[in-house]
Amino acid sequence: MTGKKKNSSLKTMTEIYLLRHGDTGAGPVLAGSTDLPLAPHAFGELAAASHLLAAVHFDHIWRSPRLRCQQTLAAVLPGAEAEIIDDLREVDFGHWEMKKFSEISEEYREDVARLAAWDQDFAFPGGESITSFLARVAAVRAQVAALTKARGDQKILMVTHSGVIRQLLCGWLGIPSRHYLLFAVKPGKITTLSIHEDGGVLTGFNLG
């Protein structure tokens, strides 16, 4: 009986590769819905990720619709076809887009305090709410869960954004969403997890 349970568990395992897009050169500003391209230097910096990912056969490749993710995938896996998943786009920061947090803290003090308190009713001024963003990320996890239940032993690559990766990690590792800043996700780097029906195990962070 023990052996059967172990084999069943192995069959429902899915390996996830989360690749944050390369550097846009925009600096320390909030860039969510703004459709920035990669900076010229970013393509060379993606070589290590390309070498790592080229050795893996992926059953599914998903990416955010943003240009920076499209260019990142083309750089690391030339010619690879991906399914565009709208839920993988970064949060829409609204009026905070392309501003430094120091500027935002001065102009929107009450809103910044609500964000720091992780008020679930908070919405970025002119942008997306926390609830909406978390629901999108949860939908991605649900899609992975369905694939895992249907057929394990799969490998999925997602090319997306730091905010999405942080919340995917929180969800799969059972960490409250308000603690997303525990993960310093670097541009052009890969995070890996093994996903099973009950959650996930972090197997690599900022690789490449």
- Helix/strand/coil for 132: helix
Decide if pLDDT at 106 tops 60: yes
> Do the beta carbons of residue 195 and residue 16 sit within 8 Å?
yes
Determine the residue type at 106. E
Burial class (CB in 10 A: 0-12, 13-18, 19+), 69: buried
> Please, which residues have CB within 8 angstroms of residue 11's CB and are 6 or more apart in sequence?
152, 153
Domain boundaries of the chain, sorted by first residue: 12-93+129-207
pLDDT higher than threshold 70 for residue 4 = no
User: What is the domain class of 12-93+129-207 according to CATH?
Assistant: alpha beta
> Whole-angstrom Cα distance, residue 183 to residue 169?
8
Contact assessment for residue 168 and residue 139, using Cβ atoms and an 8 Å cutoff:
no
pLDDT band at 12 (very low <50, low <70, confident <90, very high): low
Please state, as a whole number, how many other Cβ atoms lie within 10 Å of the Cβ of residue 52: 18
User: Can you give the pLDDT at residue 151?
Assistant: 83
Mean pLDDT of 132-146: 97
- Per-residue pLDDT tens for 145-198? 999 988 878 999 999 999 999 999 999 999 999 999 999 999 999 999 999 877
What is the structure's pLDDT at 197?
Answer: 79
Torsion angle of alpha carbons 151, 192, 168, 128, nearest 10°? -120
Closest C-alpha among 127, 122, 140, 120 to residue 16: 140
Average pLDDT of the residues in 7-16? 67
pTM over 0.85? The answer is: yes
Q: Backbone dihedral region of 18: left (phi > 0), alpha (psi from -120 to 50 degrees) or beta? A: beta
Whether the pLDDT of residue 10 is over 60: the answer is: no
47, HSE (Cβ side, Cα atoms, 13 Å): 3
159: nearest Cα among 32, 60, 50, 20: 20
Q: In this structure, are residues 40 and 65 in contact, taking their beta carbons and an 8 Å threshold?
A: no
